[in-house]
Amino acid sequence: MSGTDTVDDVVATIARSAIEIRQGLVGRRGKADVENPSGETQAEADIWADELLAERLTSIDGVAQYASEERSEIIDCEDEAYCVAVDPLDGSSNLKSNNTMGTVFGIYDEPLPAPGSALVASGWILYGPITTMAYARDGTVTKYELTGGEPSVVEEDVTLPDDPLVYGFGGRVPDWPADFREFAREIESDSSNKLRYGGAMIGDVNQVLTYGGIFAYPALEDSPRGKLRLQFEGNPIAYLIEAAGGRSSDGSQSILEVEPTDLHDRVPLHVGNAELIDRLEDVLE
């Protein structure tokens, strides 16, 4: 984290900015009356956090592109090398109720939109009771606590616990396809599993990273690509969970193999312990 290359600089900048983003949420909890490219009403904080990250990340040497869930167009920079995709405030609908939210980032070595196989690093910041970061690079996951100074490592070589404990599934049950409903019923009826769903993907996926289990925002009857965005949410999450020994799937293949057609593509997202994702794929076949 000492800023030895562009990737380190990007991650250090995001980690530093996260402290300011957290503080800047006060007074920015209202709606901005504008929609993001996915048709969701933006919070004032969504726009502010996006502008803050765009300004800082585009000025780093070696950053070629900045893209965000909160803006339609990519910002192209003069440098070449790495393309950074962020969801500045994942789960910002939790702002009103003051529940968990996060910041998600993916660093690609191909122009966006790019497949997850082009990621060289990814991570997320969790604005929980304290601010933490989970970061994956070179097949290794590290957890940090962020206080404003140098990020402090709390755990290295993080892997998903072997015995899965938690599950969280997004979307309304009546909107789930019958095969996913069948899978969910199987998981729920296993008495070793506990429901954990907070409405912010990062909070829910971080529970899976901590306790083992499965998080999904599946395909829906009227939205076969689900809700979550491939570049900004699906790929970074999948890269980190796979680096932690888990699996990701769009229903039939790793999320990292999904070829994007548009910057704001959506993807059905399922991540967690490998045996649960294997079972899911069997049911969805």
Rounded Cα distance between 108 and 99, Å, is: 30
Number of residues that bind ligand F6P (CB under 6 A): 12
Check residue 200 for interaction with ligand F6P (CB under 6 A): yes
HEC letters along 168-226:
EECCCHHHCCHHHHHHHHHHHCCCCCEECCCCCHHHHHHHHHHHCEEEEECCECCECCC
Handedness of CA 187, 188, 189, 191 (dihedral sign): positive
Check residue 241 for interaction with ligand F6P (CB under 6 A): no
Check residue 115 for interaction with ligand F6P (CB under 6 A): no
* Coil/strand/helix, residue 3: coil
Rounded Cα distance between 263 and 285, Å, is: 27
Beta bridge partner(s), residue 145: 132, 152
Check residue 217 for interaction with ligand F6P (CB under 6 A): yes
Check residue 50 for interaction with ligand F6P (CB under 6 A): no
Q: Which stretch binds ligand F6P (CB under 6 A): 19-27, 134-142, 153-161, 198-206?
A: 198-206
Check residue 184 for interaction with ligand F6P (CB under 6 A): no
Q: Is 87 known to sit in a ligand binding site?
A: yes
Exactly one of 88, 91, 123, 213 binds ligand F6P (CB under 6 A); that residue is 91
Q: How far is the CB of 125 from ligand F6P (least distance, A)?
A: 13
Check residue 251 for interaction with ligand F6P (CB under 6 A): no
Check residue 170 for interaction with ligand F6P (CB under 6 A): yes
**Residues 107, 120: contact at Cβ < 8 Å?**
yes
Please give the residue ranges that form the binding site for ligand F6P (CB under 6 A).
Answer: 90-91, 93, 170-171, 199-201, 217, 227-228, 233
Binding residues: 69, 87, 89-93, 197, 227, 233
